[in-house]
């Protein structure tokens, strides 16, 4: 029996308890037509792969939910009516808003539409519960190569719903007892570690804090907010998808002593500054997701993350070296398997919490001010469908069912996803602040200004 991990459970709770599902999306842009049989072949491989599964929720206190074979598989490839070229972004948004069900199914959807005057757009969306961005891209790449199961996302351990209730209950009791023990052990270790860290902090507190700029990690309660969006109601955050030549991106980064990742951070910081969300006096915490997926991985979600801090004063515009160095150090620390964080110790306890408590704790949750996800060259393995090369491949994560109050309360800023697919580098930028990013047009202007600053030629979708 394969159980959900803490990270799987996190996204399941977001959907079932908080009512805000998270989905991942891959979008292909083609200049020409893509054969229907190629899309159908891709669908068949995905349907036989690891994202085609469902969650079995347990009623046993302490026991983790488990995976089952998909109760309802995804519908066949959805082929939409031809759309105007100016409606491409709207079509992509609509596909990202489809209802997916990781419990009853289906948990994913493959769709395509032609573009008037020539071209095809293909979209694959999947519930974050059944797989993170790395899992979805691995499943898609394997499907395009004619394989159902990727090397790094193994389809194993699926329960059969026809198994006897007695057998399932027995397994749940065993898991529940084991998880309670793990929770108590982890909590004890975490409490002991926290006590030591608190004592150390008090001992060194007399040294005082430096006069460094404030650490902007979320909405500053002392900074006045001008309400641009409506006071309440549903609100879909603005998203812009833009390409440039990979060679341009690499050259711009190298010219300032940086890498593709440090340039991504710089561009997003520029967008935040241009919006007025941060000022040049701020010290910004930047969240950098990191994949921990390995060969033979069984986990649906295998993503960790690190954080770095960058002064928004503008020094990085002339030298990306500091961002590059701090990122490398953070990645090295994260990769050190000998270090167990307090957060890791508390994961078994947090997964044990009932839905009602999770809902209360979530009321004080926050979203990253600056999230930069560098997916590298993953787009290259996805580029070709049925012998036709895409001009670009976009990847991103989307939170559904958002409203103005939720977005203001959680204090998110900008989330960005970057990847290369051959000679094209594609950036997806989402503005999570409804007042600083009130429209797609406004966000596009900020992105365009940043690309111009770095000598990049933008091609918007």
Calpha distance 116→398 (Å, rounded): 27
Calpha distance 211→231 (Å, rounded): 36
Give pLDDT, residue 210. Answer: 35
CATH number assigned to the domain covering 6-179: 3.30.559.10
Give pLDDT, residue 215. Answer: 47
The residue among 385, 296, 383, 394 whose CA lies nearest residue 45 is: 385
Give pLDDT, residue 198. Answer: 38
The residues near 116 (Cβ < 8 Å, ≥ 6 apart) are 82, 83, 84, 85
The residues near 318 (Cβ < 8 Å, ≥ 6 apart) are 256
- With a cut of 50, list the residues of the chain below it in pLDDT: 186-187, 190, 192-215, 218-219, 221
Calpha distance 160→443 (Å, rounded): 47
Calpha distance 391→383 (Å, rounded): 8
Q: Give me the residue spans of the domains in the chain.
A: 6-179, 214-460
Give pLDDT, residue 264. Answer: 98
Give pLDDT, residue 365. Answer: 84
The residues near 162 (Cβ < 8 Å, ≥ 6 apart) are none
Give pLDDT, residue 164. Answer: 57
In the structure encoding, which two tokens stand for residue 395, read together? 């990847």
Give pLDDT, residue 59. Answer: 81
In the structure encoding, which two tokens stand for residue 91, read together? 């079509």
Residue 240 β-bridge partners:
429
Let me know if the fold of 6-179 is the same as that of 214-460: yes
Is the distance from CB of 100 to CB of 86 less than 8 angstroms?
no
Q: The domain 214-460 belongs to what CATH superfamily?
A: Chloramphenicol acetyltransferase-like domain (3.30.559.10)
Q: How many CB atoms lie within 10 A of CB 327?
A: 24
Q: What angle do CA 278, 280, 285 make, to 5 degrees?
A: 55
Give pLDDT, residue 371. Answer: 98
């Amino acid at each position: 029996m394969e159980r959900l991990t803490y990270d799987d459970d996190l996204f399941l709770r977001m959907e079932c308890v908080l009512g805000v599902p998270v989905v991942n999306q891959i979008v292909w842009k083609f200049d020409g037509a893509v054969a229907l049989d190629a899309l159908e072949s891709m669908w068949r491989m995905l349907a036989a792969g690891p994202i085609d599964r469902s969650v079995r929720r347990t009623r046993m206190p302490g026991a983790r939910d488990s995976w089952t074979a998909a109760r309802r598989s995804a519908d066949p490839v959805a082929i939409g009516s031809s759309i105007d070229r100016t409606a491409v972004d709207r079509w992509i948004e609509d596909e990202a808003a489809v209802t997916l069900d990781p419990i009853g199914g289906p948990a994913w959807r493959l769709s395509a539409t032609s573009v008037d005057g020539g071209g095809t757009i293909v979209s694959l969306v999947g519930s974050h519960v059944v797989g993170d961005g790395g899992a979805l891209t691995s499943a898609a790449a394997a499907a395009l190569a004619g394989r159902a199961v990727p090397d790094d996302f193994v389809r194993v351990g699926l329960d059969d719903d026809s198994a006897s209730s007695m057998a399932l209950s027995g397994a749940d009791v065993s898991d529940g007892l084991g998880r309670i023990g793990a929770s108590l052990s982890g909590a004890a270790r975490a409490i002991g570690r926290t006590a030591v860290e608190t004592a150390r902090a008090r001992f060194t507190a007399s040294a005082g804090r430096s006069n460094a700029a404030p650490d902007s990690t979320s909405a500053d309660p002392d900074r006045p907010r001008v309400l641009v969006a409506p006071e309440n109601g549903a609100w879909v955050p603005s998203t812009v998808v833009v390409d440039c030549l990979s060679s341009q991106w690499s050259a711009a980064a190298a010219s300032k002593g940086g890498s593709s990742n440090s340039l991504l951070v710089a561009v997003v910081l520029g967008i935040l500054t241009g919006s007025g969300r941060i000022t040049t006096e701020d010290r910004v915490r930047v969240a950098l997701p990191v994949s921990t997926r390995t060969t033979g991985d069984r986990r649906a979600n295998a993503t960790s993350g690190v954080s770095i801090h960058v002064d928004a004063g503008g020094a990085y515009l002339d030298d990306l070296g500091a961002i590059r160095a701090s990122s490398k150090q953070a990645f090295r620390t994260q990769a050190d398997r000998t270090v167990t964080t307090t957060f890791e110790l508390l994961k078994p306890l947090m997964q044990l919490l009932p839905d009602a408590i999770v809902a209360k704790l979530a009321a004080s949750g926050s979203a990253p001010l600056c999230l930069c996800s560098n997916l590298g060259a993953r787009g290259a393995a996805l580029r070709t469908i049925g012998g036709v090369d895409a001009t670009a491949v976009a990847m991103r994560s989307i939170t559904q069912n958002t409203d103005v109050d939720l977005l203001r309360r959680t204090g998110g800023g900008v989330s960005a996803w970057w990847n290369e697919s051959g000679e094209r580098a594609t950036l997806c930028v989402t503005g999570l602040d409804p007042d600083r990013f009130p429209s797609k047009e406004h966000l596009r202007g900020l992105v365009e200004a940043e690309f111009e600053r770095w000598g990049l030629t933008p091609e918007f979708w």
